[in-house]
Amino acid sequence: MATVEVERVSGIPMIDFSAFSIEKKTRPPAENEEVQLLVKQLLHAFSTVGFVFLKNYGISQDEIDTVFDVMDKFFNADKASKLKYSKWDDVLQNGWDKLEKESNNPDRPADLKESFDIGHIYEDTFKWPDDEVPEFKPTIKGMYEKVEILGLRILSAIALGLGMDADTFTSQYQHMGTQKGMTALRLNFYPKLKGDIDVKPEQIRCGEHTDYGGVSILFQDECGGLEVQNVEGKYIPVTPVKGAVIVNIADLMQRWTSDRLKSTFHRVIVPESIKKERDRRSAVFFFNPDRDATITCLDGQNKYLPIKSSDYITSRLASGYSIPVPVQQ
């Protein structure tokens, strides 16, 4: 069997995901040799770095660029148009946020980004910007459906790497895109930092944080700015790689696995030189367990008390918006 060591980019392992690519209609059997190598590489990366690049996963760069194109059309619309889609429910996972609405690190000024969250994508009540960008809904929904499959494949690979049944985690993801789910696609827009935008001391595009749920799947453009904290506590710039997607472990997965897998701090800084004079786009799929899923340590250690997915995620979201919601340990 080949080694678990793989190529690294900016200190982050680059893993070939072709064995589980969504281009394959069904998930390959666990005993497949390529699958065995993949899950070992994935588990090693997630237990040490907490982040990976995946290549050959089944979504083309052209599809991702099309998503960024429709994002540009929405975020560059006038403010009055975007205000119609301001976040409309108390779960904080549906709708538009203006610049400096959220603060991922309360010790810094609010984040220099706008965002549009798509949580209840399959509900008829979801407000799509059809008048402003007619192609927004079909483009984003098509991407969501593909990344949904990718996320389930990633969860299965993690479970196999842990020596568990492939459906250990996916069984808690039965209601994605509905009011019973907590998964959400967030479209981030970081405007160019010139003109009428006043950058405050210590202000960055997205403050230091860990993600909240199971795993996060990040598509980013070539602008750069993402930094990931290494084991020494230093933030390392992550070079964008065309054709590769970033996946990272989030808090509930770390709790689920009794800290075997690592939820790592990261941030988005303001790049120097010309890069801060252009917009940055990213689309991140927060692959979170269903609202009523109870997260308990799977190894029986009880290192963390059981907690409901919605309680943990909603409390973390609320803290970023300075909304007083009690945090349950």
d(CA 185, CA 11): 26
Asked whether residue 3 is assigned to any structural domain, the reply reads no
Asked whether residue 328 is assigned to any structural domain, the reply reads no
Give one DSSP letter per residue of 125-189, joined into a string. Answer: T----TTT-TTHHHHHHHHHHHHHHHHHHHHHHHHHHTTS-TTTTGGG-SSTTSTT---EEEEEE
* φ, ψ (nearest 5 deg) of residue 104: -75, -25
pLDDT tier for residue 273 given thresholds of 50, 70 and 90? low
Residue range 151-181, pLDDT digits in tens: 999 999 999 999 999 999 999 999 999 999 9
The three-state (H, E, C) secondary structure of 239-264, written as one string: CCCCCCEEEEECHHHHHHCCCCCCCC
Asked whether residue 87 is assigned to any structural domain, the reply reads yes
Check residues 199 and 42 and name the one with the higher pLDDT: 42
- Tell how strand 12-16 and strand 51-55 pair up: parallel
Q: Which of 48-52, 87-91, 195-199 has the lowest mean pLDDT?
A: 87-91
Asked whether residue 113 is assigned to any structural domain, the reply reads yes
Residue ranges in 49-85 assigned as alpha helix (H): 61-75, 79-83
Residue 68 is part of which domain span?
8-320
Asked whether residue 159 is assigned to any structural domain, the reply reads yes
Asked whether residue 154 is assigned to any structural domain, the reply reads yes
Question: What is the chain's mean pLDDT, rounded?
Answer: 93
Burial 116-150 (b: 16+ CB within 10 A, else e): bbbbbbeeeebebbeebbeebbebbbebbebbbbb
Asked whether residue 1 is assigned to any structural domain, the reply reads no
CATH assignment at residue 38 = 2.60.120.330
- Nearest-CA neighbor of 49 among 196, 276, 238? 238
pLDDT at 195: 72
Dig out the tokens for 143 from the structure.
Answer: 């991407």
pLDDT at 93: 86
Note whether 188 and 281 are within 8 A (CB).
Answer: yes
The three-state (H, E, C) secondary structure of 162-180, written as one string: CCCCCCCCHHHCCCCCCCC
pLDDT at 194: 78
Tokens 């020596």, residue? 163
**DSSP state at residue 94:** E
Asked whether residue 2 is assigned to any structural domain, the reply reads no
Dig out the tokens for 225 from the structure.
Answer: 């700015």
Q: How many domains does one find in the chain?
A: 1
pLDDT at 1: 41
